[in-house]
Structure 1
Amino acid sequence: MLRRSLLATLWVAFVVYAFGFAPPDQVDTGELILHLSTGQWDEINPAIVALFNLMGIWPMAYACLALIDGQGQSVPAWPFVAGSFGLGAFLLLPYLVLRQPNPTFDGPKSRMIALADSRWLGLSLLVASVVLMGYAAYAGDWADFIAQWQTSRFIHVMSLDFCLLWLLVPSLLGDDMARRGFKNNLVFGLVSAVPLVGLTAYLTFRPALDEA
């Protein structure tokens, strides 16, 4: 009950802050999103390009946890996972509030679950995460990024969404490890501490699910 209350409070606080206290929308936000979505990146800060693309990797990484978790829940995970591709933690948090602890997996292992459990998918997400973060670190204009974070609601909220998705990893990680009989506090701590790369590395190397 305490877990649910804390997550619900966090969700409400995020919504209220994003729409009530974050910097205002800029007139060119729609054009920026269009250019980011269509690969027209020549005149955009590489740090923003990387962040935008990393926000596409987070939902895929969470899908590899939540779709498996949702098979044992009274509330299905897939609508929240699908919505998180466009709205990130805004849609993922309600699932985390509604779900129950679920440290077991009894099957069946459907095609979707097999894909979510795939090490090759985890490896693809890990490589993409490392490349994008390296690109941001090497080529990003961080003074410009900070200035845009302070003045643009889109950049501001997207950055907070990234941090919130990082913060929420332990809420599904513990049960996923338990379903695999994988108890390791060091791994849990490292995966939780390293943003996105930690989770995608876990998805790459975690033991496979046992239907039995």
Structure 2
Amino acid sequence: MRIVFAVLWLGLIVYSFGFAPPDHPQTLVLIQRLATGDWQGINPLIVSLFNLMGVWPLIYTALLVVDGQEQRFPAWPFAVLSFAVGVFALLPYFILRRPAPIFTGEINRGVRLGESRITATGIGLLAVGCLGYGLIAGNWADFWQQWQTSRFVHVMTLDFCLLSLLFPFLLVDDWQRRGIENSPWRWWSVVPLLGALGYLLLRPPLILSKKSVA
């Protein structure tokens, strides 16, 4: 799979900067307005998508605080960078990581925060709010036009889709770390976004190894 992830990462970079629609002079202004909450006149679908691109890194981080402890390198740089560049930062993690079906790390503050139902609830409410705003108030015809003509909107949409598709590759090990690798309900967690949110909220606790308990 590492080769597949590497090819996907390189292909995404080449496509984004070589074949995606051209960039617009006003892209930086649009990003600044989206980041500062100046949303008047902006299609709610684009506002929603932009904010969901901040929710996905939160979802990934809730798993990386555990998965990263089983790797030979820290996961936090990839998680932090994903808030800025999304899947462009996370794909290198997938390339470098090794399977980690058993948790032998430390139950530190980051793990407790990532495992917290309060954290999961907060992420879920934020995501549902963004999603509902876009679906109810958004203009699909305008979004489709901007997807065809704006590199920022085009690549951001592609980024969102890839984050949704890659998440299950982290789930496989996390299922085993919690003893639900044979549970039929686990398949609901691979549903894009909503499944991930439900998984964070309903997943059972980690099965701790002797090393973790010690």
Alignment pair present for 1:104 and 2:123? no
The secondary structure found in structure 2 opposite 1:178 is: helix
Tell me the residue number matched to 2:201. Answer: 204
Offset at residue 185 of structure 1 (A): 5.5
Task: Determine the C-alpha separation between the residues in 2 that align with 1:187 and 1:21.
Answer: 40
Query: Equivalent of 1:65, from 50, 63, 66?
Result: 63
* 1:67-146 to 2 correspondences below 5 Å: 67-146=65-144
Q: Is the contact made by 1:11 and 1:94 (CA closer than 8 Å) also made in structure 2? A: yes
Tell me the residue number matched to 2:212. Answer: none
> Residue type matched to 2:68 in 1?
G
Task: Classify 1:188/1:8 alpha carbon distance in 2 versus 1 (closer, same or farther; 3 Å).
Answer: farther
TM-score, normalised by the number of residues in structure 2: 0.94
Task: Determine the C-alpha separation between the residues in 1 that align with 2:184 and 2:10.
Answer: 32
The secondary structure found in structure 2 opposite 1:71 is: helix
Tell me the residue number matched to 2:178. Answer: 180
Offset at residue 188 of structure 1 (A): 3.5
TM-score, normalised by the number of residues in structure 1: 0.95
Q: Is the contact made by 2:45 and 2:143 (CA closer than 8 Å) also made in structure 1? A: yes
> Residue type matched to 1:28 in 2?
Q
Structure 1 stretches (4+) deviating beyond 4 angstroms?
none
Task: Determine the C-alpha separation between the residues in 2 that align with 1:49 and 1:184.
Answer: 39
> Residue type matched to 2:164 in 1?
W
Q: Is the contact made by 1:69 and 1:102 (CA closer than 8 Å) also made in structure 2? A: yes
Offset at residue 184 of structure 1 (A): 4.2
Question: Which consecutive residues of structure 1, in runs of 5 or more, have no partner in the other structure?
Answer: none
Task: Determine the C-alpha separation between the residues in 1 that align with 2:158 and 2:182.
Answer: 29
The secondary structure found in structure 1 opposite 2:70 is: coil
The secondary structure found in structure 2 opposite 1:169 is: helix
Offset at residue 190 of structure 1 (A): 2.1
> Residue type matched to 2:208 in 1?
E
Question: Which consecutive residues of structure 2, in runs of 5 or more, have no partner in the other structure?
Answer: 210-214
Task: Determine the C-alpha separation between the residues in 2 that align with 1:164 and 1:72.
Answer: 24
Task: Determine the C-alpha separation between the residues in 2 that align with 1:71 and 1:58.
Answer: 20
Offset at residue 210 of structure 1 (A): 3.6
Task: Determine the C-alpha separation between the residues in 2 that align with 1:186 and 1:162.
Answer: 27
Root-mean-square deviation (CA, aligned residues, Å) is: 1.2
> Residue type matched to 2:100 in 1?
N
> Residue type matched to 1:8 in 2?
A
Q: Percent identity?
A: 51
